[in-house]
């Protein structure tokens, strides 16, 4: 992370400590987002994803670690693009929106879909995060700096999960919310992977992995839902 980026993250973090946010500024990330669809080998993407998870799991663990997270791996990259992540190179953009936007009702039982069926519905990045508990690289997703008003839907099944009204600047580089849009939209389970115990959160309809929830968030809940942009599809309004 460059000094400029570090300064920005620190400033944002300070702002968070003062319980700021929800300022409605024009989004910067939405316009810069673009879809990256790469045909990855299953083995290659899994190996890279595992290394990315190991690094980013700790990065998402605490706001205080966010500034040191830029060296962590990224999700689902093949060798040709992974080089960009070494030595603080430019971040590889992550997917902004699903290649497909499955509408509610198109699948009778979302939880019954097989891995192969999910692969056909999702981009490689979405599959790594939603179906294999991957984590996108901090400050690279489409929505961490999105301040538009609207609803964040599950990028797997399109269920409405979070509202911009509950979004805050955590300074972590991942979109962060104090609560889901409704209590029955998000399920939670203990995640003991990578040598730590965290609370994993996923979509209640399709079980698509969203991120983790921590108890160091601002009012009114004191919770911080640390969510992957890749797991979301933002709908303004
Ligand atoms: Zn879902």
What does the pLDDT look like over 142-182, one tens digit per residue? 999 999 999 999 999 999 999 999 999 999 999 999 999 99
Contact between residue 172 and residue 226 where contact means Cβ atoms under 8 Å apart: yes
Q: Which is higher by pLDDT, 79 or 205?
A: 205
Token pair belonging to 172: 């972590």
Confidence (pLDDT) at 186: 98
Using the mean position of ligand 1's atoms as its centre, give its distance from the Cα of residue 179 in Å: 16
Beta bridge partners of residue 188, listed in sequence order: 201
Using the mean position of ligand 1's atoms as its centre, give its distance from the Cα of residue 105 in Å: 12
Domain of 187, CATH number, reads: 2.170.150.20
Confidence (pLDDT) at 106: 75
**Active site residue ranges:** 226
Residue 34 pLDDT > 50: no
SS3 9: helix
Contact between residue 199 and residue 211 where contact means Cβ atoms under 8 Å apart: no
Task: State the chain's mean pLDDT as an integer.
Answer: 72
Question: What is the band of 70 on the pLDDT scale with cuts at 50, 70, 90?
Answer: very low
Residue 218 pLDDT > 50: yes
CB atoms within 10 A of CB 114: 8
- Which among 202, 181, 199 has a CA at the least distance from the CA of 191? 199
Question: What is the band of 228 on the pLDDT scale with cuts at 50, 70, 90?
Answer: very high
**Segment 85-135, tens digit of pLDDT:** 333 334 434 444 444 454 445 799 999 999 999 999 999 999 999 999 999
Q: Which is higher by pLDDT, 14 or 209?
A: 209
Residue 40 pLDDT > 70: no
Token pair belonging to 56: 């980013």
Tally the C-alpha atoms within 13 A of residue 36's C-alpha that lie toward its C-beta. 18
Confidence (pLDDT) at 201: 98
Using the mean position of ligand 1's atoms as its centre, give its distance from the Cα of residue 171 in Å: 26
Q: Which is higher by pLDDT, 225 or 68?
A: 225
Residue 35 pLDDT > 80: no
Confidence (pLDDT) at 75: 59
- Which among 90, 158, 130 has a CA at the least distance from the CA of 227? 130
Using the mean position of ligand 1's atoms as its centre, give its distance from the Cα of residue 185 in Å: 9
Residue 55 pLDDT > 60: no
Residue 224 is part of which domain span? 3-236
Residue 230 pLDDT > 60: yes
Q: Which of 68-72, 105-109, 233-237 has the lowest mean pLDDT?
A: 68-72
Residue 184 pLDDT > 80: yes
Structural domains in the chain (count): 1
């Amino acid at each position: 992370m460059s000094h400029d980026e570090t300064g920005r993250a620190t400033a944002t973090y300070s702002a968070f400590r003062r319980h700021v946010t929800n300022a409605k500024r024009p989004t910067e990330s939405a316009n810069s987002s673009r879809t990256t669809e790469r045909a990855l080998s299953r083995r290659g993407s899994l190996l890279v994803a595992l290394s990315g998870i190991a690094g980013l799991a700790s990065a998402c663990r605490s706001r205080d670690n966010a500034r040191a997270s830029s060296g962590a791996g990224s999700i689902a990259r093949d060798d040709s693009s992974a080089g960009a992540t070494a030595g603080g190179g430019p971040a590889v953009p992550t997917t902004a929106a699903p290649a497909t936007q499955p509408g509610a009702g198109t699948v009778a039982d979302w939880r019954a879909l097989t891995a192969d069926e999910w692969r056909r519905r999702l981009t490689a990045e979405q599959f790594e995060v939603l179906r294999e508990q991957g984590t996108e690289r901090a400050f690279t997703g489409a929505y961490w700096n999105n301040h538009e008003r609207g609803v964040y839907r599950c990028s797997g099944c399109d269920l409405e999960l979070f509202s911009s009204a509950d979004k805050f600047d955590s300074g972590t580089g991942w979109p962060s919310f104090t609560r889901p849009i409704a209590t029955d939209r998000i399920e939670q389970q203990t995640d003991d992977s990578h040598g730590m115990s965290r609370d994993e959160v996923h979509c209640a309809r399709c079980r698509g992995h969203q991120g983790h929830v921590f108890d160091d968030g601002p009012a009114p809940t004191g919770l911080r839902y640390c969510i992957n942009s890749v797991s979301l599809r933002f709908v303004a309004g």
